[in-house]
Chains A and B, each alone.
Chain A
Amino acid sequence: MASDTTILQPFDFTKDHLANKQQGLWEMAFRRLIRNRLAFIAAIILVIITAVSIAGQFIPAVERHSATFQQYQVVNTGPNSEYWLGTDNLGRDLWARLLYGTLFSLKIGVGTQIVVLIVGITIGMGAALGGKISDTILMWITDLAYAFPDLLAIILLRQVLFGRDWPIIGTGDPQIPGFPSAILGTILAISLVSWVTIARLVRGQMLSIKEQDYVLAARAIGASPWRVVRAHMLPNTLSTVIVAVTFGIPLAIFAEGALGFIGLGVPSPFTSLGALMGDGYANLFVNNWQVVWPAIMVATLMLCFTFLGDGLRDALDPRTRK
């Protein structure tokens, strides 16, 4: 490649030009996103929540009390100046636990969607573009994963994944900083049942785009298949995928919460928003703030991701320009 550069001088201009145009598209999308007030506010709130919950892990002044420190003299107290959000049934500070649980849930949500994106796009693309046999086989695998009951899959996977010496996700010191085995195991278990949606979405979208005029035209003038995929098909699939992913993050957080609720949650001393809600639910009638804080947090995350997702979709879709 390097030796070719001098010979292909004239094309470089075109390349640069294209790159500029491409960048312009993203820039424009970004500008449109900022103009969408709701999406912009949502993005800012998400950044603040993430920043504060990360800061809580490193700066004692933010965490205020340890999330695991138990004080039996102050169990189930209401919000006050010492414990901003009150304490739980073991006398632990709910503010610290909320930060801890939020970060944990965000890790689960984002981690799940990263795995889902990688698996889903690969399989969806392979099915749409790899020819009939590849489509049949990959879609068969997708159907298999889809038809398998989620709950059973997660229960079984957790039994296989947890507490064993697997590389990276095994017990012991975390291999990826901030992602101990309890998180990775949960992420994998939830991802493995939720990549199907993205795969099917990508395949459907690509099948449809494949037949669009501009793609046919690009192929007719001899653009390489990879270029067609990269320059035309992937970006045009993106808007759909982004909506699914932004919705997928809170859904993964819900899924983890539901698991915790039926007694299959993350092991102590970890906690998540779902686990906090489960714990608080037991005290709904007397200490209702214990369920209120994590519920508000979950609802906020859900709303923010939704608005951000819609904003991104609108911003990325050239036809929705006003």
Chain B
Amino acid sequence: MTKSKWHLLLSIFAIFAILAFTAACGDDDDDDNGGNGGTTASPTSGGTAPTAVAKPSGTITIRTIQFESWDPHFSDFNQDIEHFFMVWRGLYHLDKDSKPQPAMADGMPTVSADGKTYTVKLKKDLKWSDGQPLDANDFVLGVQRTCNPDNAGHYQYILTAIVGCQDYYDAGKKTAEEKAALQKAMGVKAVDATTIEFKLTDPQPTFTILLALWPTFPAPKHKLATVDAKWPAPMDNVYNGPFKVSAYTEKDKMEVVPNDQYTAGQKAQVEKIVMRYIDDAAVALNAYRSGEIDATAVPTTQLKAVKADPTLGKELISYAATRTTGIEPNLKDPTLSKLEVRLALSQATDRKTLNDNVLNGANIVSTNWMPPDRSGNKAGIFDAAIGFDPAKAKENLKKAGYDNGAGFPKLTVLQTDSATNKAIGEFLQSEWKKYLNIDINLEYTDSKSRSSRFNSGNFQIVLGGWGEDYPDPENWILGLYETGGSINKQSCSMKAIDDIIAKAKFNQNDEQRRQQYRDAEKLIVENVCGMAPMWQVGFHAVVKPYIKGMVENKKPDDKQVPGDTSVELWTTTKK
């Protein structure tokens, strides 16, 4: 009968269900590892600031995002760089005023009279986290990896001043022997075990800063048979920074513990740092509220909620990041190639209302391209030229031949999809209609599509900007605005700008050089040459009060939480 079949089926199902239930959800007796929520008033070790000799204590959990690549000689992602600074260090390290200080190096470099040869001495008895010696050859290998065409490092472009780096990088299609020869010919040599010599094509004034960045981090030669060898995964790699990796699960978390072989500077003061990978910033903020993480960045959309919260409001720290956002017109577009059109769009943009009313006042409204601290230009000096002024905007549009928007083509603004960008786009759509009587399309894509479109010049207007890689004005201009510059995708091309940049690039006279970049900025902004700045981005984070060293060591280029390039200075009095 069918009934017996049903019984059989049901029995199978019941057994399965019971098995699964007991297996999965049966007992929950061992959840004593939670530890959060509860208030364990454990004795704090005397003072609030432990001294350098104090034993590391406590765990700090921060929110960050899964890194894309573990290879410092390849990657260019913000969150990757945050990871790198925890576990590796270069010859120098930027202090909280963004000045290079010796890290692995023993003192500042010796520079030859022509400025083209840098000689760096290493500290004595440096070791990797596995106890193997760390010497000059490791640093040479690191630089070679960044210039290696087969590794195809994203940041190779900042090392082009090193003799032979560019030739090597361009040798992708050559034979192995030719590549090896080019690698040898590079201007980076280990003179002896503790001395490294860099030869430059031209005297680059910012070179010492570059020696503090991840593309020049050392590579463990005992782990890498050749310059082409695969970079070891987090758990297999060795480290020379204040911490080393002790646990890692992709998209879940990474744990780092003090590296006891690290002798070059301040030793780690916490027992463990847990980097919890949380994509959604709102989720991270909830985890912060419940005490599961100790620090996280606060997104623009949550800013108002955080400020209004009696506890979180006090734990909020806000400062200006070295990051500028603006309207980027493509000068190859026939409409946008007209200066008056570009000026009209910029002058019809009420940055203050947008920022204060729509974006919760998250950013620092500005028409400066470089942050004033970096350039030395006064804030607001370009307001008269490109700042909000509906009357001038209308006039400029008329001059361009579109009186009251008549005959103006429907331009498309391309943005990555996010709640904030949607609001900005809708604001511009409504405001430009109001002041200029023109219609625009809004297009939202994911970031890969946007990058592809931007880099191939296939766009009319994008909303975007620039985040500083290293603290010098040249990083804001070089490659971005000269004709044919590798990052100049808005096709800004003005002879005056080209001339200034050419003069400034290898100018040994620092003050003159900075003035030249200031002049370049003026030309770029007043001609809206691919950029109408809207604001300097504000960085917002919440940090639990029992954590010291984060807020105190904040820098304008912090990645995910305050002070995350100086983790050895973090301490906690919790537990």
Interface residues of A (CB under 8 A from B): 68-70, 72-73, 75-76, 89-91, 163, 263-264, 267-269, 278-279, 281-287
25 A-B pairs with CB atoms under 8 Å apart are: A68-B430, A70-B430, A72-B353, A72-B357, A73-B357, A76-B304, A89-B423, A90-B427, A263-B444, A263-B446, A267-B442, A267-B443, A268-B422, A268-B426, A269-B426, A278-B419, A281-B282, A282-B301, A283-B301, A283-B304, A283-B305, A285-B305, A285-B308, A286-B304, A286-B305
CA distance A172 to B426 in the complex (A): 20
Q: Which of A73, A75, A264, A285 contacts B302 (CB 8 A)?
A: A285
Q: Which 7 residue pairs are nearest across A and B when measured between Cβ atoms?
A: A285-B305, A263-B417, A282-B301, A72-B357, A286-B305, A70-B430, A268-B442
CA distance A285 to B311 in the complex (A): 14
Tell me if B220 is interfacial: C-beta within 8 Å of chain A. Answer: no
Contact B301 A268 (CB under 8 A): no
Contact B426 A90 (CB under 8 A): yes
CA distance A286 to B298 in the complex (A): 15
CA distance A281 to B283 in the complex (A): 11
Contact A75 B305 (CB under 8 A): no
Contacts of B252 in A (CB 8 A): none
CA distance A14 to B207 in the complex (A): 99
Tell me if B182 is interfacial: C-beta within 8 Å of chain A. Answer: no
Across the two chains, which residue of chain B brings its CB closest to A287? Answer: B304
Given A72-B353, A90-B426, A282-B301, the answer on whether A264 and B419 have CB atoms closer than 8 Å is no
**Size of interface on B: residues with Cβ below 8 Å to A:** 24
Contact A286 B282 (CB under 8 A): no
CA distance A286 to B360 in the complex (A): 12
5 additional A-B pairs beyond A91-B357, A283-B301, beta carbons within 8 Å, are A72-B357, A90-B427, A267-B443, A282-B301, A286-B308
A181 to chain B, nearest CB (A): 12
User: Please, what's the 1-or-0 string for B435-452, where 1 marks a CB less than 8 Å from any CB in chain A?
Assistant: 000000011101000000
CA distance A168 to B340 in the complex (A): 38
Contacts of B309 in A (CB 8 A): 285
Tell me if B429 is interfacial: C-beta within 8 Å of chain A. Answer: yes
CA distance A267 to B418 in the complex (A): 12
Contact A90 B443 (CB under 8 A): no
Across the two chains, which residue of chain B brings its CB closest to A88? Answer: B423
Contact A264 B417 (CB under 8 A): yes
Tell me if B209 is interfacial: C-beta within 8 Å of chain A. Answer: no
CA distance A286 to B303 in the complex (A): 10
Contacts of B443 in A (CB 8 A): 163, 267
Contacts of A91 in B (CB 8 A): 357
Tell me if B425 is interfacial: C-beta within 8 Å of chain A. Answer: yes
CA distance A285 to B423 in the complex (A): 19
Contacts of A75 in B (CB 8 A): 357-358
CA distance A90 to B423 in the complex (A): 7
Across the two chains, which residue of chain B brings its CB closest to A91? Answer: B357
Contacts of B358 in A (CB 8 A): 72, 75, 89-90
B279 to chain A, nearest CB (A): 10
Contacts of A69 in B (CB 8 A): 430
CA distance A129 to B429 in the complex (A): 54
Contacts of B427 in A (CB 8 A): 70, 90
B453 to chain A, nearest CB (A): 12
User: Please, what's the 1-or-0 string for B290-320, where 1 marks a CB less than 8 Å from any CB in chain A?
Assistant: 0000000000011011001100000000000
User: Please, what's the 1-or-0 string for B412-433, where 1 marks a CB less than 8 Å from any CB in chain A?
Assistant: 0000011100110111011000
A82 to chain B, nearest CB (A): 18
Across the two chains, which residue of chain B brings its CB closest to A159? Answer: B449
